[in-house]
Amino acid sequence: MKTGFIFALLVVLLFIGFSQFSLASETQQEPKPPQIPGPSPEPEPIRLPEPEPVPEPFPGETESEKVQRLTEENNKLQQKNSDLQTKISSLNVEKSVLQDEILKLENEIQRLKDLTMEQVRVIMDLANKLKNTFFEIISFPTINF
């Protein structure tokens, strides 16, 4: 039993020593650079679906019915166009009237600014005259006998 125990202890010590040597030799190796991945394949382009043919808007119409319907639609559109042109011309007239009013208001504002500036000048002149008079009264008292 002693021999078996000593033999087992010797085997364990040799195993530990060998494993330390093998682990140490593995850690001293230089790491290999990572591999460069190969190019990925390009994805296939998405294809547009084939357009379906446009169905006839009014199936079963004869040529004369189509012409009549299109003529009516054309007349309606012409009427709408003339109504819009009338509205545009009336809006242009209103625009010119409003521009005239704006010009008049701007002239009136300028006139009021000028009037206000003149009033400020007159008030400043009166304030200066009052100041001069006040200082004359204080500095030159009149002697009444």
pLDDT in tens, 27-66: 556 777 778 877 778 888 888 888 888 777 666 777 888 8
- Boundaries of every domain in the chain: 65-140
In terms of average pLDDT, the best of 59-68, 88-97, 135-144 is 88-97
pLDDT at position 113, please? 96
* Cα(101)–Cα(92) distance, integer angstroms: 14
List the beta strands (DSSP E) in 6-122: none
Q: How confident is the model at residue 142 (pLDDT cuts 50, 70, 90)?
A: low
Cα separation of 78 and 73, whole Å?
A: 9
DSSP 8-class letter at 60: T
- Would you give the distance in Å from CA 138 to the centre of its chain? 68
